[in-house]
C-alpha cells in the first residue's frame, strides 16, 4: 500500500492510501467541526448542517443528489461527532472519480430555506428517536455532566428548543466559518488513481476560500459529579461512567486503549469477570475515546435496577484493585492479541481503512500505516500501563444513572 | 469476483464449505447447529439464548475462565446467536490461529461441561437481556412483528419469553444441548485465508461424532394477517409491518431483491423519498427482505412522533401498493448497480461471506458463486420485475405498533 499526499494552495489537504489489489475504493471529506465548535444558541447546527449537505447545490436538487449517488451504487453516508463531521462513500473502483466529484460539489451547498424547513422535521424526529433509546440518552447526559462547561460536553443533536429556533441564516454563517478548505481533509483508500483525484480536486475545489478557523484545545479532567435521572417507564438501570483519558495527539493513546480493553472488553475483561459472568449486569463495557486535546474513558453498565448499587460496588473494587496491583503480563498480551486481530480484520476493506486514515490526518497531520499501528500496539509495556493508571486514576469518575431507580 | 469455492462432506454427514479470499490475513468461520428457536421443545422459548452463553462456561478440560482466556489469547472475535432454524457460533481471527481456535470450538460443541451453577447464571443473563428489550422499543417492535407474521413455531422469539425463561429447567436445557449437534444437519463454513485440506482433516478428526437424532420441528400453524398495538409512554410510535413474499429458493428471487431495492435500497428509493425527503415524517424508515427456508416476507420499520404516525403508515402502505403500477428504467438501473456493489464489497469481508455461503447451503442446498449472482442481477429487466409484482402484489400486511397511540389500516 502506498501513501500519497498533496495540498492545494487554499489549504485543502488530499491524502490517499492506494491498494491496487482492492475490489473497491472509499473516499471521504473529513471536516474539523462538530458540537464543540458551536455556541449554545446554535446547539445542533453541525449535525443539522450535515443533513443539509445532502440537499444539493445550485445545480442539483436533493432528489437529484440521492439519485446520483445511487446510480454509482455508492454505499454512502455521513456522521457528526463532538468534533468532526465526516462524509464518506464506498464504491467499485470504476465509480470512484464520479463519487469523489459529487462530494466535491456537495461541499458547496445551497442551503435553501425550503429544504431547511422540511429537514428540521427530520432532525426533530431523530431527537425523539434517541429519547426512546436510553443507552444513547445516558451517554449524552453523562458526557454533558462530565465535561461541564468544556465544549466537549455539547450535545451533537442539540435540543428540541435549540433546533426549533435555529434559522437558515445562522446555519449559513456557521458553514462559511467552518467548511473552509484549510479545515478539511479529502481522504481516499483502496483501488484508485491518486493523480486523477488531485486533478479533479484542483478543478473543483481550488476556488474555495481559505478562512481563519480556530478551536480551543484545553484538556479537561472532568467535573466528577454524580447525577440520577429517574424514569419510571424504563425497565433497566442505565449507568454511564466517565473519567479522564488521553488525547489523539498523545502517543500513549494505544496504551490507554489497551487499558480500556483490559478493564471493559466484552470478553474476558475485569468487568466481564466481575459483572457479566456472575450475571450482575447484562452489559458492562468500557472503552477509551481519544479526542482533540483531551480524552475520556467511557463505561456503560446496564442492569436490574435493584442491583445497581451492587454493580457500582464491584466497579469501585475493580478500580481499587487496579490501582493497588496494576495489570498482569498475560492480561496485557491478551488485550494486544484482541486489538491486533481487530485491526487486521478492519483493514481488509477500504472503508475500514478510510476512517483511520482521515482521523490520523485530522488530529496529527500524519500518516500512520497499519504496520505502524501494529508496532505501536506491540510496543506497549506493563510499565506504560502502570504509569497511566497512576496518572489517570480511573477510580475517580463522573457518573450518570438513568432508570426507574431513584438513587 | 474470483473467490474460489470448496466443499467437503464428512462421513457423518456434516458439510464443510470454504471460500478463499486472496490477499487477506484473516479467516472467519461459522457453525450452524440445527437448534434454532423453531426446533426447541414446547415451553423452552429462549433456551437458545441461554445455551449460546452456557456453552462457553467451561468445555473439555477448560474451566469457564480457562476457556474464555484461551479464546482471548488467540484474539478470536466470537459471536453466538439463535435464529429460527439454527444456533450459530461464529468467529473471526488471524488465520495463523485457526487450528487452535477450531480445537476450542470442538470442545464447546462436542464436550461442554454444562455445570448447573453456570446454567443459572446464563439463564439470569438471558432474562435480563429480555427485560432490556422493553428499553429498546424499535427492536421489540420487530421481535413482536416476526412472531405475528411467521407461522408458529417459526416466529418464536429467539430472545425468549419471560414466563418460559423464568421457569426454564436445567435438565431439559442440558437435554437440548446433547441433541443439538446432529452432524447431517450441521453446516461449517470458512472464508478468507485458510488451507482447506488441513481444515477438513482437522474437522474430520475433531467432529468424528455420531449423536442420536437431533431436534425435530412441530407442524407449522399459520396465523394470517394481523394488526396489534402495544401502548407505551415513549417519544415515538414505532411501526413494524410485513408482507409475504416468495423465498430465496423461488425463481423470482432476483426480482424480489430488485423490488425491495427500488422500495428501500438507498436514499433515492421510494420510501426514503416519499416518507422522509418530501414529507419529513421520520428519521428512520426502511424495508428489507427476510427469508427462512419455507417462509419469507418484506419487513419495514418506521419510527415517528405520535401525531405523524397515521400519515407515516398511510404513505408507507401506499408505496408498497403502487410499486406494481410501474418502475422506471433508471430506478431499476440504480437498484442493479447497488445490488452488484453490495455483492462485490461483501466479497472483501471474510465474516460476511462465511455467513452467506452457510445460509446459501441451508436455504438452497448449494452455494451460489458471486459470478452467478452477478449474472442474474444483470439479466433483470423492468418487465421481469413488474411481472413478478403483478403476480405477487403487496396487499396483505401484518402490522405491529408500540407507542403512545395506535394507528389504523
Whether residues B195 and B239 fall in one domain: no
Q: Is the pTM of this model over 0.90?
A: yes
Q: What residue in B sits closest to A278 (Cα-Cα)?
A: B121
Cα(A403)–Cα(A406) distance, integer angstroms: 8
Give backbone dihedrals phi and psi of A27, rounded to 5 degrees, phi first.
-135, 145
- Interhelix angle B329-346/B382-391, rounded to 10 degrees, is 90
pLDDT at A72 over 90: yes
Judgement on whether residues A168 and A231 belong to the same structural domain of the protein? no
Q: Which of A74, A272, A282 sits opposite B129 (nearest CB)?
A: A282
Q: CA of B285, closest CA in chain A: separation in Å?
A: 11
Distance in angstroms (rounded) separating the CA atoms of residues B22 and B92 = 16
Integer CA distances (angstroms), A331 to A92, A263, A336, B59, in order: 41, 10, 9, 21
Q: Are strands A184-190 and A25-31 parallel, antiparallel or unpaired?
A: antiparallel
Are residue A15 and residue A126 in the same domain, yes or no?
yes
Contacts of B77 in chain A (CB under 8 A): 338, 341-342, 345
Spell out the per-residue pLDDT of chain B, length 409, in tens: 456 899 999 999 999 999 998 889 999 999 999 999 999 999 999 999 999 999 999 999 999 999 999 999 999 999 999 999 999 999 999 999 999 999 999 999 999 999 999 999 999 999 999 999 999 999 999 999 999 999 999 999 999 999 999 999 999 999 999 988 889 999 999 999 999 999 999 999 999 876 656 787 777 887 766 899 999 999 999 999 999 999 999 999 999 999 999 999 999 999 999 999 999 999 999 999 999 999 999 999 999 999 999 999 999 999 999 999 999 999 999 999 999 999 989 888 999 999 999 999 999 999 998 889 999 999 999 999 999 999 999 999 999 999 999 999 8
Q: What chain B residue is nearest to A352 in terms of C-alpha separation? A: B349
Q: Can you read off the three cell numbers belonging to residue A263?
A: 478493564
* Phi, then psi, of A137 in degrees rounded to 5: -55, -45
Q: Do the chains contact at B345 and A75, CB–CB below 8 Å?
A: yes
Q: State how far residue A375 is from chain B, nearest Cα, in angstroms.
A: 16
Same domain, B276 and B195: no
- B25/A348 CB distance under 8 A: yes
Whether the CB of A21 is below 8 Å from some CB of chain B: the reply is: yes
Residue of A122, A277, A279 with shortest CB distance to B276: A122
**Shared domain check, A336 and A191:** no
Q: Which of B108, B48, B127, B63 is nearest to A268 (CA)?
A: B63
Choose among A92, A265, A273: nearest Cβ to B341: A92
**pLDDT (0 to 100) of residue B218:** 75
Q: How far is B277 from chain A (nearest CA, A)?
A: 8
CATH (domain of B85): 3.30.830.10
CB proximity under 8 Å: A 59-98 to B? 62-63, 66-67, 69-76, 90-92
CA dihedral B29, B33, B36, B39 (to 10 degrees): 170
Supply the range of the domain harboring residue A264: 226-403
Q: How far apart are CA B323 and CA B390, in angstroms?
A: 9
Same domain for B247 and B120?
Answer: no
Regarding whether B82 and B113 lie in a shared domain, the answer is yes
- The per-residue pLDDT for range A384-394, each reduced to its tens digit, is 999 999 999 99
Report A:106-165 residues touching B (Cβ under 8 A): 118-126, 128-129, 131-135
User: Does B305 sit within 8 Å of A125, measured CB to CB?
Assistant: yes
The predicted pLDDT at position B347 comes to 87
Residues B115 and B173 occupy one common structural domain: yes
What pLDDT does B2 receive? 58
Q: For residues B131 and B163, give the distance between their C-alpha atoms in angstroms, rounded to a whole number.
A: 11
Number of structural domains, chain B?
A: 2
* Predicted confidence band of residue A339 (pLDDT cuts 50, 70, 90): very high
Q: Answer yes or no: do A176 and A233 share one domain.
A: no
Asked if A142 and A400 count as a contact pair (C-beta separation under 8 A), the reply is yes
- Are residues B188 and B231 both part of a single domain? no
- CA dist A89 and A26 (Å) reads 6
Claim to verify: residue A160 and residue A265 sit in the same structural domain: no
Q: Any CB–CB contact under 8 A between A235 and chain B?
A: yes
Q: What is the 3-state secondary structure (H, E, C) of chain B?
A: CCCEEEEEECCCCCEEEEEECCCCCEEEEEEEECCCHHHCCCCCCCHHHHHHHHCCCCECCECHHHHHHHHHHCCCEEEEEECCCCEEEEEEEEHHHHHHHHHHHHHHHHCECCCHHHHHHHHHHHHHHHHHHHHCHHHHHHHHHHHHHCCECCCCCCCCCHHHHHCCCHHHHHHHHHHHCCHHHCEEEEEECCCHHHHHHHHHHHCCCCCCCCCCCCCCECCCCCEEEEECCCCCEEEEEEEECCCCCCCCHHHHHHHHHHHHCCCCCHHHHHHHHCCCCCCCEEEEEEECCCCEEEEEEEEECHHHHHHHHHHHHHHHHHHHHCCCHHHHHHHHHHHHHHHHHHCCCHHHHHHHHHHHHHHHCCCCCHHHHHHHHHCCCHHHHHHHHHHCCCCCCEEEEEECCCCCC
A133/B72 Cβ within 8 A: no
Whether residues B29 and B69 fall in one domain: yes
pLDDT in tens, A1-15: 899 999 999 999 999
**Hey, is A216 helix, strand or coil?**
coil
List the single residue in A24, A121, A133 with the smallest CB-CB distance to B136: A133
Question: Predicted ipTM?
Answer: 0.94
| Percent of chain A residues topping a pLDDT of 90 | 97
Q: How far apart are CA A107 and CA A78, in angstroms?
A: 12
A239 and A200, same domain (yes or no): no
Say how far apart CA A101 and CA A57 lie, in whole Å: 13
- Whether residue A238 lies within 8 A of chain B, CB to CB, comes out as yes
Q: With an 8 Å Cβ cutoff, is A371 touching chain B?
A: no
Closest-CA residue in chain A for B232?
A233
Which residue, of B159, B176, B206, is where some domain finishes?
B206
Predicted pLDDT of residue A406: 79
pLDDT of residue B211: 65
Query: CA A123, A125, A127: angle at the middle one, nearest 5?
Result: 70
Does residue A222 register a pLDDT over 70? yes
Residue A293 lies in a domain: yes
Question: Who among A67, A131, A304 is closest to B128 (CB)?
Answer: A304
Asked if the structure places residue B213 within a domain, the reply is no
pLDDT at residue A103, rounded to an integer: 98
Domain end (from B138, B171, B206): B206
Q: State the DSSP H helix or E strand holding residue A371, giving kind and residue range, or none if neither.
A: helix A370-378
Query: Is residue B218 situated within a structural domain?
Result: no
- Residue A200 and residue A241 in one domain: no
**Are residues A240 and A174 part of one domain?**
no
The pLDDT, as a whole number, for residue B369 is 87
Measured CA to CA, the distance from residue B17 to residue B6 in angstroms comes to 6
Residue B23's pLDDT is what?
Answer: 86
Start-to-end CA distance of chain A, whole Å, equals 54
| Unique residue bearing C-alpha cell 472503552 | A287
Domain count, chain A: 2
Contact with chain B for residue A322, Cβ under 8 A: no
**Given A205, A240, A266, which residue is the final one in a domain?**
A205
How far apart are alpha carbons A116 and A77 in whole angstroms?
A: 19
For helices B196-206 and B98-110, the axis angle rounded to 10 degrees is 30
With a CB cutoff of 8 Å and minimum separation 6, the contacts of A153 are A143, A144, A145, A146, A147
CATH code for the domain of A14? 3.30.830.10
Nearest to B259 by CA among B380, B136, B119: B380
Nearest to A229 by CA among A237, A221, A241: A237
- Taking alpha carbons only, the member of B254, B222, B188 closest to residue B27 is B188
**A389/A399 Cα distance (integer angstroms):** 19
pLDDT computed for residue A322 by the predictor? 97
A340 burial via Cβ count (<10 Å: 0-12, 13-18, 19+): middle
CB-nearest partner of A342 from B77, B236, B344: B77
B408 in any annotated domain: no
pLDDT at A278 exceeding the cut of 80: yes
A177 and A269 inside one domain: no
CA A222 – CA A344 distance, rounded (Å): 34
Select from A52, A129, A303, A338 the residue whose CB has the most chain B CBs within 10 Å, as the one to mutate to test that interface.
A129
Residues B163 and B239 in one domain: no
**For testing contact with chain A, the best of B93, B96, B342, B348 (most A CBs within 10 A):** B348
B137: buried, middle or exposed (CB in 10 Å: 19+, 13-18, 0-12)? buried
Chain B, nearest residue to A134 by Cα: B135
A133 is a domain residue = yes
CA triple B85-B88-B89, angle to 5 deg: 165
Do β-strands B187-192 and B15-20 pair in parallel, antiparallel, or remain unpaired? Answer: parallel
* CA distances, A407 to each of A12, A141, A222, A237, A239 (Å): 51, 16, 22, 10, 11
Dist CA A126 CA A15 (whole Å):
33
Q: Which of B161, B177, B206 is the last residue of a domain?
A: B206
Is residue A219 a part of any domain in this protein? Answer: no
Cα B59 from Cα A407, distance rounded (Å)? 40
Domain-located, residue A128: yes
> Domain for residue B215, yes or no?
no
Q: Is residue B342 part of a domain?
A: yes
Range of the domain at B247: 227-403
Q: How many whole angstroms separate alpha carbon A311 and alpha carbon A309?
A: 5
Q: Which of A348, A351, A353, A377 to mutate to test the interface with B (most CBs of B within 10 A)?
A: A348
Asked if the model's pLDDT at residue A79 lies above 90, the reply is: yes
Residues of B with Cβ-Cβ distance to A92 under 8 angstroms: 340-341, 344
A310 in contact with B, Cβ within 8 Å: no
Q: Which of A155, A174, A205 finishes a domain?
A: A205
Q: Is residue B175 located within the same domain as residue B246?
A: no
**Please, what is the angle between helix A253-264 and helix A370-378, to 10°?**
70
Would residue B216 count as lying in a domain? no
What ranges in A186-240 are assigned the alpha helix state H?
194-205
pLDDT in tens, A135-159: 999 999 999 999 999 999 999 999 9
Chain B CB contacts of A233 below 8 Å: 232-234
Residue of B69, B280, B342 lying closest to A118 (CB–CB): B280
Q: Measuring CA to CA, which residue among A54, A29, A35 is closest to residue A362?
A: A29
Residues B118 and B194 in one domain: yes
Compute the C-alpha angle B332/B334/B338, nearest 5°. Answer: 115
CB spacing of A349 vs B349 below 8 angstroms: yes
Residue A215 inside a domain? The answer is: no
Contact B88, B35 (CB under 8 A): no
A140 and A192 fall within a common domain: yes
- Give the mean pLDDT of A125-144: 96
Residues of A in contact with B232 (CB under 8 A): 233
Task: Say what the pLDDT of residue B54 is.
Answer: 98
pLDDT tens for each residue of A357-366: 999 999 999 9
CA proximity to B404, closest of B311, B283, B306 = B306
Same domain? B122 vs B239: no
**A159 and A276 share a domain?**
no
Sequence-distant (6+) residues with CB within 8 A of A293 are A217, A218, A219, A247, A249
- Is A340 in contact with B349 (Cβ distance < 8 A)? no
Same domain, B240 and B195: no
Beta carbon pairs, A and B, within 8 Å:
202
| A282, A250: one domain | yes
Amino acid at each position: 500500500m502506498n501513501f500519497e499526499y498533496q495540498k492545494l494552495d487554499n489549504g485543502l489537504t488530499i491524502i490517499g492510501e492506494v491498494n491496487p489489489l482492492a475490489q473497491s475504493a472509499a473516499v471521504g471529506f473529513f471536516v474539523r467541526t462538530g458540537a464543540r465548535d458551536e455556541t449554545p444558541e446554535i446547539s445542533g447546527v453541525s449535525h443539522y448542517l450535515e443533513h443539509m449537505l445532502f440537499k444539493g447545490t445550485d445545480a442539483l436538487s436533493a432528489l437529484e443528489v440521492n439519485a446520483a449517488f445511487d446510480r454509482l451504487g455508492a454505499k454512502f453516508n455521513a456522521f457528526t461527532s463532538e468534533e468532526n463531521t465526516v462524509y464518506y462513500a464506498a464504491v467499485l473502483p470504476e465509480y470512484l472519480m464520479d463519487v469523489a466529484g459529487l462530494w466535491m460539489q456537495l461541499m458547496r451547498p445551497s442551503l435553501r430555506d425550503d429544504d431547511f424547513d422540511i429537514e428540521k422535521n427530520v432532525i426533530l424526529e431523530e431527537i425523539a428517536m434517541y429519547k426512546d433509546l436510553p443507552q444513547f440518552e445516558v451517554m449524552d447526559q453523562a458526557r454533558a455532566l462530565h465535561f461541564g462547561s468544556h465544549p466537549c460536553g455539547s450535545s451533537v443533536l442539540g435540543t428540541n428548543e435549540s433546533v426549533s429556533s435555529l434559522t437558515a441564516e445562522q446555519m449559513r454563517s456557521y458553514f462559511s466559518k467552518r467548511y473552509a478548505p484549510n479545515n478539511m481533509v479529502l481522504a481516499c483508500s483502496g483501488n484508485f488513481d491518486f493523480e486523477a483525484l488531485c486533478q479533479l480536486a484542483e478543478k473543483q475545489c481550488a476556488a474555495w476560500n481559505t478562512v481563519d478557523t480556530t478551536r480551543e484545545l484545553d484538556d479537561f479532567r472532568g467535573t466528577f459529579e454524580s447525577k440520577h435521572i429517574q424514569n419510571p417507564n424504563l425497565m433497566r438501570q442505565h449507568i454511564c461512567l466517565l473519567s479522564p483519558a488521553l488525547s489523539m495527539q498523545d502517543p500513549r493513546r494505544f496504551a490507554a486503549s489497551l487499558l480500556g480493553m483490559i478493564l471493559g472488553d466484552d470478553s474476558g475483561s475485569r468487568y466481564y469477570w466481575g459483572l457479566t459472568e456472575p450475571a450482575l449486569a447484562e452489559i458492562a463495557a468500557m472503552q477509551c475515546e481519544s479526542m482533540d486535546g483531551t480524552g475520556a474513558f467511557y463505561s456503560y453498565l446496564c442492569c436490574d435496577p435493584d442491583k445497581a448499587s451492587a454493580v457500582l460496588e464491584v466497579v469501585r473494587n475493580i478500580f481499587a484493585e487496579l490501582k493497588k496491583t496494576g495489570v498482569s503480563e498475560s492480561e496485557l498480551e491478551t488485550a494486544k492479541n484482541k486489538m491486533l486481530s481487530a485491526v487486521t480484520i478492519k483493514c481488509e476493506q477500504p472503508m475500514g481503512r478510510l476512517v483511520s486514515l482521515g482521523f490520523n490526518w485530522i488530529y496529527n497531520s500524519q500518516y500512520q500505516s497499519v504496520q505502524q499501528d501494529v508496532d505501536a500496539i506491540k510496543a506497549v509495556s506493563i510499565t506504560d500501563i502502570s504509569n497511566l493508571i497512576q496518572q489517570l486514576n480511573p477510580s475517580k469518575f463522573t457518573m450518570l444513572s438513568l432508570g426507574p431507580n431513584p438513587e | 469476483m474470483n473467490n474460489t469455492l470448496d466443499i467437503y462432506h464428512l462421513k457423518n454427514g456434516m458439510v464443510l464449505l470454504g471460500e478463499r479470499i486472496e490477499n487477506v490475513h484473516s479467516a472467519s468461520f461459522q457453525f450452524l447447529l440445527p437448534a434454532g428457536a423453531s426446533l426447541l421443545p414446547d415451553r423452552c422459548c429462549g433456551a437458545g439464548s441461554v445455551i449460546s452463553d452456557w456453552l462457553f462456561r467451561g468445555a473439555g478440560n477448560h474451566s469457564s475462565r480457562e476457556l474464555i482466556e484461551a479464546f482471548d489469547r488467540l484474539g478470536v472475535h466470537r459471536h453466538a446467536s439463535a435464529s429460527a432454524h439454527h444456533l450459530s457460533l461464529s468467529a473471526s481471527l488471524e488465520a495463523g490461529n485457526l487450528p487452535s481456535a477450531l480445537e476450542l470450538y470442538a470442545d464447546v460443541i462436542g464436550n461442554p461441561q454444562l455445570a448447573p451453577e453456570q446454567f443459572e447464571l446464563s439463564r439470569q443473563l438471558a432474562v435480563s437481556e429480555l427485560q432490556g428489550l422493553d428499553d429498546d422499543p424499535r427492536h421489540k417492535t420487530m421481535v413482536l412483528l416476526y412472531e405475528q407474521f411467521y407461522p408458529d413455531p417459526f416466529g418464536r422469539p429467539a430472545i425468549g419469553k419471560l414466563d418460559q425463561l423464568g421457569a426454564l429447567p436445567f435438565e431439559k436445557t442440558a437435554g437440548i444441548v446433547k441433541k443439538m449437534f446432529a452432524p447431517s444437519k450441521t453446516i461449517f463454513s470458512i472464508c478468507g485465508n485458510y488451507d482447506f485440506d488441513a481444515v477438513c482433516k482437522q474437522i474430520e478428526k475433531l467432529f468424528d461424532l455420531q449423536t442420536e437424532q437431533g431436534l425435530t420441528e412441530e407442524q407449522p400453524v399459520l396465523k394470517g394477517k394481523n394488526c396489534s398495538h402495544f401502548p407505551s409512554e415513549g417519544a415515538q410510535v414505532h411501526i413494524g409491518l410485513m408482507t409475504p413474499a416468495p423465498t430465496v429458493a423461488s425463481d423470482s428471487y432476483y426480482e424480489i431483491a430488485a423490488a425491495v431495492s427500488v422500495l428501500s435500497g438507498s436514499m433515492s428509493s421510494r420510501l426514503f423519498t416519499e416518507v422522509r425527503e418530501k414529507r419529513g415524517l421520520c428519521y428512520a424508515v426502511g424495508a428489507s427482505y427476510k427469508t427462512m427456508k419455507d417462509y419469507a416476507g418484506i419487513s419495514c420499520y418506521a419510527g415517528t412522533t405520535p401525531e405523524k404516525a397515521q400519515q407515516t403508515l398511510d404513505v408507507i402502505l401506499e408505496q408498497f401498493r403502487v410499486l406494481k403500477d410501474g418502475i422506471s428504467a433508471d430506478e431499476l438501473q440504480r437498484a442493479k448497480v447497488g445490488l452488484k456493489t453490495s455483492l462485490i464489497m461483501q466479497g472483501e469481508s471474510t465474516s460476511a461471506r462465511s455467513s452467506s455461503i452457510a445460509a446459501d447451503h441451508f436455504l438452497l442446498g448449494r452455494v451460489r458463486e458471486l459470478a452467478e449472482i452477478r449474472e442474474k442481477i444483470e439479466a433483470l429487466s423492468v418487465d421481469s420485475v413488474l411481472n413478478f409484482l403483478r403476480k405477487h402484489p403487496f396487499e396483505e400486511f401484518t402490522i405491529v405498533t408500540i407507542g403512545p397511540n395506535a394507528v389504523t389500516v
